[in-house]
Amino acid sequence: MIVDCAIYRHGLRTEGPEDLSDALQEARAAGGFVWIGLHEPSEREFALVTEEFGLHPLAVEDALKAHQRPKLEVYDDSLFMVLKPVVYEPESDTVSAGEVMVFVGDGFAVTVRHGEGSPLAAVRRRLEEEPEMLGKGPTSVLYAIADATVDHYLDVATELQTDLEELEAEVFSPDGGGSRHTASRIYTFKRQVLEFRRATGPLAPPLTRLSGTGALGGGVAFVDDKARPFFRDVNDHLTRVNESVEGLDRLVSDILSAHLAQMSVRQNDDMRKISAWAAMAAVPTMIAGIYGMNFDHMPELHWMWSYPAVIAVMAVLEVLLYRLFKRRGWM
């Protein structure tokens, strides 16, 4: 469905005609551009937009099916970019990603949003408050969406860092690290970091290209060259995010290794305690087993003090073994 459609002239909004072809012609004639926002359009709904704006069929297919990696494609009549805004849900401590596809061409910008997260209404309102930025044409839409997406990445990275510190405190607590749910929590957190990484990592090459830096630097069709400094700023923020994600991934792997090491040490301690008690139980068992055999010639059986002597020997041996194991830390 079409969420919003407006024509922007000299950085100011004017409502466009209902007919998309008329809106595009009017925007081009006035030296402005038309911005159409759609939310999860069907193939039939998107067909009209495709026809009027001459969008490439491959990009249209990606926009309809979604589930794309962040990327930048330049076609003859338009530019196509995919971004994956991320939403952090504090109730469940989970990360979920939506998708925003942006088409930029001569006199138009078309945005296609998938998922309940990543609404673009706030981005549009903020951009409309900056006429100077809107005056740069459809490039301003691409920049504003990329900037809002990456800025929210920073917020999500901060939330994940807080969760990681709580998880770290639990693992290294005197008794919390032995919980049977700790390993599953660590693994779940690692999956959230991986989901976050899938959104942030692939976005670096497209932003590098738009900012005009690196091996892919150079002019990009349908993007105003004066916008390069703005894209460089977004790219710098994304670099910080990716560094933070790398740090989170390394730390959670280290925490998992530490937790497994702790569990191994605890199991070794338990096995030593069990072995010590088994050794102590073996001494009286052995002595009792000897005297339980039916031999005729066992002189001490007829001695009056034989029973107390055997019990005394067992007790002395048990005490010696207990002190030995205690000194070695087995008990």
The DSSP secondary structure of 209-228, one letter per residue, reads HHHT-STT-S--TTS-GGGH
- Output the pLDDT for position 179: 61
- Output the pLDDT for position 85: 92
- Output the pLDDT for position 215: 57
**Residue 243: left (phi > 0), alpha (psi -120 to 50), or beta?**
alpha
- Output the pLDDT for position 327: 77
Residues paired with 36 in a beta bridge: 5, 110
Q: What is the mean pLDDT of each run of 10 residues along the chain (331 residues)?
A: 82 77 80 88 86 89 88 91 89 86 92 78 89 87 93 92 86 66 83 91 92 69 86 94 92 84 73 77 76 65 72 81 75 64
Q: Are strands 99-105 and 94-97 parallel, antiparallel or unpaired?
A: unpaired
- Output the pLDDT for position 205: 92
- Output the pLDDT for position 95: 87
Show the tokens assigned to 182: 């700790």
- Output the pLDDT for position 119: 67
DSSP character for 56?
-
- H-state helical runs in the chain: 20-29, 43-53, 57-65, 121-128, 131-134, 138-171, 182-200, 204-211, 228-291, 306-327
CA–chain centroid gap for 17, Å, is: 42
What does pTM read for this prediction? 0.77
